[in-house]
Amino acid sequence: MAVKNFQHKTEDLRAAQEECAREPVHIPGAVQSFGVLLSFDAAISRVWQVSANVSQHLGLRVDDCLGASAIDIFGKSLLGRIRRGLKGVDRLPGALTVTRKLGGVSRKLHVVAYRSGEAVIVELEPLGGGVRYRWLSLVNDWISRLVETGTESEVMAMLCEAVRAISGYNRALIYAFDENWNGKVVAESRCETLSPLLGQHFPASDIPPQVRAMYGNNRVRVIADARAEPARLVPAMNPANGQPLDLSSGYLRAVSPIHCDYMQNMGVRSSLSVAIYSETRLWGLVSCHSNEVLALSPSARDSVVTLVEVASQRLFLLKAEADAHYRYQIHDNRVELAGGVQERQAPSDLVRQHAEHWRELFTVEGLALAYLGEITLSGTTPGEDQIRALTNWLENHVKGSEPWATTSLAASGYPGAEAIGESCCGLLAMPLLIDMDARGWLLLFRPEQFEMVPWAGKPDKVPEMRDGRTVLSPRTSFATWVEEVSGKSQAWHPAEINAARDLGDDLAVIAAAHEITRLNEYLRREREALAQANKHLEKVANTDALTGTLNRYRIEHLVQMSLANAERYGQPFSLLLFDLDHFKMINDTYGHEVGDRILKALVGALTEGLREGDQLGRWGGEEFLVLAPNTVLSDAGIFAERLRGMVLDAEFGLDEPVTISIGVTEWRAGDTLKNLLVRADRAMYQAKHSGRNRVHLDTH
């Protein structure tokens, strides 16, 4: 009987989770009481629906509004502005502020309009009188302080402080999502009336998928009073199609009863949330709370949004600079490794020489190189036999040339994880394409990381029946509950994975160069076989295994020769550094095999556009470098635009076009390879920062 009860509880919980994910929060059939909603036909001629509080805000009866002419309610001027603003777009580009006499009273109104299916929705919020608040001056003051911040934590702390100062909420916090959509409070500003939440974690179910998706339509969600009675829409359904009205893009959408309970349990009466988006996904939220009713004015709301936008740009710029600094560290190490190619050093010798530095760069406790049957170990690693078993498993489960990472070998399905032990819990594995028929492996190991994770209340929810549906009841307590997390290592940062890819490419070239030397010695008496091996391996040492173009070391050597000629004879040259836009998204969406195919097709598309003497090489990952001899910056810019256009016009077999962002710089007297490449990299970053699919010339 106990087993049956447990099964019933599990089934109830699963049903509640599915019901929660389907909760139609976008069609509540009502609006919050701080504004009024009217819906119209697509031509904005007649009123289809109206919120029941229209009398309170506009002095008009519901019956007088339904079927009424839009021009009678808005007047010719305002109606014309709304129609012109919605021409060809789904949302009015900016809110309108108008004064209109309605119900015998002159009313100042904040107007927002957007399309929802066949309907046009107009939301009106009354604006109070009195002295106009100096929002612009206050926001500008905070912006000037935000742009001076030097660290990510400073940006987030100051943003919370600024939002509270402008909005008047008791608490402002920044809530960042992890890869599983759990949230963590990473910054907070509050008064003593609300308890601290800094460092607390929240489960993904607190902000279900359909709620997160709605931030893509409107990045702002305001709840003036969670206990206020919502104003229902009259009639409840759109008379044109009998369907409920989708209010995702507005500000007035009524609050889900479950979320009202959640806020009450949290001790919050009013809230404001503003989404923070990175380049590819919802990164987090700025969330504000008050334990009292707070009717935030539209001007204050817009000011908060402006601050969040500016702070977000500063935050992600600092993140990009940190990543760039890490890339420069990796680049310096790669320059050192280049000597190994020239000297034909054994990869195992280079691993022993650089292992300590690599363990520091990647924050790992051990690494291993498996190469043609030879195992080289450094730090805390599995034994040699265990490494061979692990690489055999990787050969069967990891295809392609991209790095493979996990925070738990056991959770990833590796059968030998228990034998390896907790000292090598996480793995970053980079395949080394040494030969068409042989792969080596660079393996980086991280130990199990025991972590005490504080949650804002125990993240368990209980299924209950509401209106005949099984739903998850909100948590009733937000007291700190600490979870002990084990069985996982520290997560692998994308910059570390990219660095492992570059390092693996270098080791593959070094291994190929070393193999040339080894085979030359071994096959000295076998001239015919020696010639054939040299031809193949020289190609491996000088060309990229995937794309067939010059590899990093060959193109770098050519740039060094051009530097020498430029200094000696004054011969100008330019560099074009570019990479594919959104290549990670292509890999994530279509898989790495398609990503490899795109890289090959890119080289094919560009080869025809190269001039005599131009050299194209793969710089690493999706980055490529073009050496343009006897070319000044202005001509190189024209050349780069032509290459960009060729890629844009090429057919790659995807639903969306493939584009590149190009940074262009030219040789200047006294240049070294490093500062020439730094300028090209900086110009390429500017091209990407300016919108991608463009060329940026380094003129500084």
Cα→Cα distances 556→338, 442, 550, Å = 10, 24, 9
Residue with more model confidence, 81 or 337 = 81
What are the pLDDT digits (tens) for 160-177? 999 999 999 999 999 999
How many DSSP H helices and E strands does the chain contain?
Answer: 19, 27
Fold of the domain spanning 343-449+488-522: Beta-Lactamase (3.30.450)
User: For 543-697, CATH number?
Assistant: 3.30.70.270
- What pLDDT does 327 receive? 79
Locate tokens 């660095």: which residue?
499
What are the pLDDT digits (tens) for 182-238? 999 999 999 988 889 998 888 888 888 989 999 988 999 999 999 999 999 999 999
Q: Distance between alpha carbon 120 and the CA centroid of its chain, in Å? A: 32
Confidence check: pLDDT of 469 > 70: no
Distance between CA atoms of 108 and 111, rounded to whole angstroms? 10
**Beta-ladder partners of 287:** 173, 273
Q: Structure tokens of 696?
A: 């940026």
- What pLDDT does 220 receive? 95
Longest dimension (CA), the chain: 107
Confidence check: pLDDT of 506 > 80: no
- What pLDDT does 4 receive? 36
- DSSP conformational letter for 255: P
Q: Mean pLDDT over residues 407-427, rounded?
A: 89
For 195-235, give the DSSP string.
Answer: ---TT-EE-GGGS-HHHHHHTTT-SEEEES-TTSPPEEEES
Angle subtended at Cα 300 by Cα 114 and Cα 254, rounded to the nearest 5 degrees? 50
Q: Which amino acid is at 515?
A: E
Angle subtended at Cα 371 by Cα 368 and Cα 377, rounded to the nearest 5 degrees? 25
Positions marked active-site: 622
Q: Distance between alpha carbon 229 and the CA centroid of its chain, in Å? A: 38
Question: Sign of the CA dihedral 330, 332, 335, 340?
Answer: negative
Annotated domain spans of the chain: 30-126, 135-235+249-315, 343-449+488-522, 543-697
Helix (H, G, I), strand (E, B) or coil at 61: coil
> Architecture of domain 135-235+249-315 in CATH?
2-Layer Sandwich (3.30)
Helix (H, G, I), strand (E, B) or coil at 279: coil
> Architecture of domain 30-126 in CATH?
2-Layer Sandwich (3.30)
Cite the beta strand spans of 380-421 per DSSP E.
404-406
Q: How many CA atoms lie within 13 A of 70 on its CB side?
A: 23
- What pLDDT does 151 receive? 93
Asked if 169 and 294 count as a contact pair (C-beta separation under 8 A), the reply is: yes
What are the pLDDT digits (tens) for 648-677? 999 998 988 999 999 999 999 999 999 999
Confidence check: pLDDT of 54 > 50: yes
Distance between CA atoms of 233 and 52, rounded to whole angstroms? 6
Band of the pLDDT at 577, cuts 50, 70, 90?
very high
Q: Which of 376, 368, 366, 367 is nearest to 346 (CA)?
A: 376
Residue 42's CB is within 10 A of a number of other CB atoms, namely 12
Q: Mean pLDDT over residues 277-302, rounded?
A: 92
Radius of gyration of the chain (CA): 31
For 314-341, give the DSSP string.
Answer: HHHHHHHHHHHHHHHHHHHHHHHHHHHH
For all residues of the chain together, what is the average pLDDT?
85
| Domains 343-449+488-522 and 543-697 fall in the same CATH topology | no
Residue 179's CB is within 10 A of a number of other CB atoms, namely 7
- What pLDDT does 425 receive? 92
Q: Which of 338, 322, 325 is nearest to 673 (CA)?
A: 338
Lowest mean pLDDT among 233-242, 449-458, 525-534: 525-534
- What pLDDT does 538 receive? 60
What are the pLDDT digits (tens) for 300-309? 999 999 999 9
Helix (H, G, I), strand (E, B) or coil at 529: helix
- Give buried/exposed letters for 464-488 (b at 16+ CB in 10 A, else e): eeeeeebbbbbbeebebbeeeeeeb
Q: Which amino acid is at 84?
A: R
What are the pLDDT digits (tens) for 118-144? 999 999 999 876 445 567 788 889 999
